[in-house]
Amino acid sequence: MTINPEKLRIELYPTEVLRMKAEPIELNDEVRAVALRMIDLMKGAQGIGLAAPQIGLSWRMFVAHVPADPNLDSEDDQEETDPDLPISCDSPQIFINPEIIEFAGELEPYEEGCLSLPGITGEVQRPAIVTVKAITLDGQEVTMRASGLLARCWQHEIDHLDGVLILDKMNQMSRFKNRSRIKQMEKAAKR
């Protein structure tokens, strides 16, 4: 089956592919084209990450772009973590067949959203530091370590590759706060 990247769009909860464990993929021209389309879709939706299941493909691939926040002093943002680790990235990143090889640091709460769950945000606890191994778009195997929002983004996107959503990880108060919106989305999908 040939995929037309231009026809891909962001899938919304409760689309079935969002709950499936994604399969490893081989790097080829089609994967490269889809990855570039994913970057466009992510930027167009003003997101910082997008996983292949979110565009209807059960592939182990995600893209991320967490630019530095000009309103934050990077030293202040990294008081609790390692100041030598990146908390942002200057350009979009593409991760093929990523896996988390190490978590470190304390669990930190943060209000997360998701492009497949518009209008829904909730507090999710995640480790402050993460190390990820993946293949890049040029076929190189890399191991990268990050903290702050970049580490959180990578963890969120890898959750998508395992069929896990922020709904599964948010605290009880956040679940309660979003209950009616979740029901609306489920009802709309049945129409």
Catalytic residue set: 157
* Amino acid making up residue 121: T
Contact between 41 and 48 under an 8 Å Cβ cutoff? The reply is no
Name the residue with tokens 């389309």.
37
Residue 35, Cβ density class (10 Å: 0-12 exposed, 13-18 middle, ≥19 buried): buried
Closest CA to 41 of 85, 83, 5: 5
Tokens matching residue 154:
């990578």
Contact between 25 and 96 under an 8 Å Cβ cutoff? The reply is yes
Extended beta strands in 48-168, E state? 49-51, 61-64, 93-113, 121-135, 141-147
Closest CA to 97 of 37, 161, 33, 42: 161
Task: In whole angstroms, give the CA distance from residue 154 to residue 146.
Answer: 9
